[in-house]
Amino acid sequence: MILLLTALGAHAASLDLIEVGGMWGTPGATDATALWWNPAGLAVDDTTTFVAEGAPVLAAVGWDRPNPDYGIIDRDADGNADAETYDYSGRQDLTFLGVVPYLGVHSNFGVPNLGVGLGLAVPYARGGDSEPLQSIGNQNIKTGNITTLYAMLGLAYDIEDKVSLGVTGVFLDNTWDVSVDTESVTSLRDSVAEIVDDPVYWQDADTENTGYATNLDFQSLKDTAFTFNVGANVHPTDKWSVAVSYNHGAKLVNTGDVKFTFACPPEQDGGGRFGSALFGLCNPATEAVAAFDGTAEIAYQLPGRVQLGVVVNPVKKVRLELMGAYVMWSAFTDYDITTKLTSEAVLEGQAEGLTLTRDAAQNAAELVSQNRFWARDNTNTFWTGVDGKFQVHRLVLAGARVMYDHSAIPTTVLSTNNFDANSVELAGLVAFKPVKSLDIGLSYGHHFLITRTVTDSVLALDINPEERNEDRTFWPNANGTYSGGIDRFGISVRGRFGVEED
């Protein structure tokens, strides 16, 4: 079942998934969800537990964009506006649909105060499909699926039934599938500038013209890494406990294949079409375009986090937990993106009907191969919440949760590619107990994403090399209004064996 759910993880959710294990998972957990949340919890409960959950997630993010100000179009550089106009305003909708899995087991194997756990989880997942596909946000994202799978092995020991210490070793398997457009008119302009001093034909507004777009289809870039979680759980009585853990971050360097697909410049741009033909990118006579197979590397840093849970059991059938975390998202400042192309790939994928020399193919390969950054500028942030479990009947458990998650992305670099917002989640759980040792749970949670209005985007495109931003912010201006929401449905089975009474 877990392999099936993992395969369905595409387009799973929005950002940092702080609901590993669903409504069962908290920093103070003492069942199999403690593997990720706080491994010390594995030794607090001398029973054998397992948790399996599949969580269908539906999410949507919308961007309403005003027309960016690229100034007038002046092809002759005479100071007078031409009749041409542009309008890159509109709306992009990203929709997400998938299943987020969790599977964990833990036991003491008959050794008092010992805890050993094994599990699989997806703490990070991003993705979505753009509607319409040809939209204002194509240079942010067209389609995507970025999933980080955690395989975990945990060990804990409880000292004098008072203080438990634990550690989890984590193997990360990361997959990156993204399709995104990028502008190519600045490269075309710079190539011509080597022959003609200060070419004036191309204007700032051309940087978002789809006739100068190159599609980059990153195809299953992969990386693996190792990290760890450590934690402590102080529980002097059955009435309360305090749990604190540290989840270490990880550096990911995803590598794999990328396909470059080019467009023919607009028909009125005779010089651009001729230049594209020289590089094998477009055959103006037939509108045939090139598709090159290259390699790519995308690197970034996942954050570390400190998590805290204070658990109170005022009566036997009630469990309350105040919880939260401080997340060091500032470690993730940029995507570091490298694309490479060989002359052989250019010769093989050049536009049909063209015949490049090897020197021309080498020039094209050097033009397309790049190393650049994409700003995220994350800041350290936090989330906090309250979780309650209530045994309302010997066969029925009810749960409720309220959480607040603070945004890590400043408005200056916000886009649909890295959308983040302050959010409030309300969630509920009903678990039925068909037999004493088994809970079958149904949960639902909704994330209310607070609308963000951006008027200070530092992202900008310029045709003049002297006016261009550094590459990490050389992306289309992202002013506008962002809104959305996330719905999470949890279907879980939770077992607890080796105890006389619940």
Please report, for the domain that includes residue 465, its CATH number: 2.40.160.60
Q: Place 502 in a pLDDT band, splitting at 50, 70 and 90.
A: very low
Does the structure show a pLDDT above 50 at 10? no
State how far the Cα of 56 lies from the Cα of 489, in Å rounded to an integer.
5
HEC string for 376-390:
CCCCCEEEEEEEEEE
- Domain assignment present for 282: no
Does the structure show a pLDDT above 90 at 197? no
Asked if 479 and 136 touch (Cβ cutoff 8 Å), the reply is: no
Strands (E), 184-284: 213-234, 240-247, 250-261, 282-283
Quick: pLDDT tens for 107-121: 999 999 999 999 999
> Phi/psi class of residue 109: alpha, beta or left (left: φ > 0; alpha: ψ in -120 to 50)?
left
Q: Give the chain's end-to-end CA distance (angstroms, integer).
A: 28
Cβ-proximal residues to 138 (8 Å cutoff; 6+ apart), any chain: 130, 180, 181, 210, 213
The burial class, CB within 10 Å (0-12 / 13-18 / 19+), for 297 is middle
Asked if 474 and 461 touch (Cβ cutoff 8 Å), the reply is: yes
Torsion of CA 468, 201, 141, 171, to 10 degrees: -50
* Range in 146-150, 232-236, 333-337, 498-502 the model is least confident about: 498-502
Quick: pLDDT tens for 60-81: 999 999 999 999 999 988 888 9
The per-residue pLDDT for 132 is 77
- Domain assignment present for 261: no
The per-residue pLDDT for 499 is 65
Does the structure show a pLDDT above 90 at 249? yes
- Domain assignment present for 344: no
Cβ-proximal residues to 239 (8 Å cutoff; 6+ apart), any chain: 312, 313, 314
The per-residue pLDDT for 215 is 95
- Domain assignment present for 451: yes
Does the structure show a pLDDT above 60 at 14? no
The per-residue pLDDT for 229 is 97
State how far the Cα of 97 lies from the Cα of 387, in Å rounded to an integer.
26
Does the structure show a pLDDT above 70 at 9? no
- Domain assignment present for 368: no
The per-residue pLDDT for 478 is 97
State how far the Cα of 416 lies from the Cα of 65, in Å rounded to an integer.
11
Domain that holds residue 119: 2-249+303-333+376-497
The per-residue pLDDT for 253 is 97
The per-residue pLDDT for 460 is 96
Quick: pLDDT tens for 30-49: 999 999 999 999 999 889 99
Comparing 319 with 77, the larger pLDDT belongs to 319
Q: Place 4 in a pLDDT band, splitting at 50, 70 and 90.
A: very low
Most confident of 3-17, 86-100, 264-278, 288-302: 288-302
Q: Calculate the average pLDDT of the chain.
A: 92
Q: Place 16 in a pLDDT band, splitting at 50, 70 and 90.
A: low
Could you give the angle at the alpha carbon of 19 between the alpha carbons of 17 and 22, nearest 5°? 140
Does the structure show a pLDDT above 60 at 7? no
Number of domains in the chain: 1
- Domain assignment present for 355: no
pTM exceeds 0.85: yes
Task: Pick the closest to residue 417 from 306, 337, 310, 313 (CA basis).
Answer: 337
Does the structure show a pLDDT above 60 at 501? no
Query: Per the structure block, which two tokens stand in for 10?
Result: 């595409």
- Domain assignment present for 62: yes
Quick: pLDDT tens for 374-425: 999 999 999 999 999 999 999 999 999 999 999 999 999 999 988 999 999 9
Q: Provide mean pLDDT across the span 176-185.
A: 94
3-state secondary structure at position 299: strand
Does the structure show a pLDDT above 90 at 213? yes
The per-residue pLDDT for 498 is 80
Q: Alpha helix locations (H) across 339-483?
A: 343-349, 358-368
- Domain assignment present for 12: yes
Does the structure show a pLDDT above 90 at 12? no
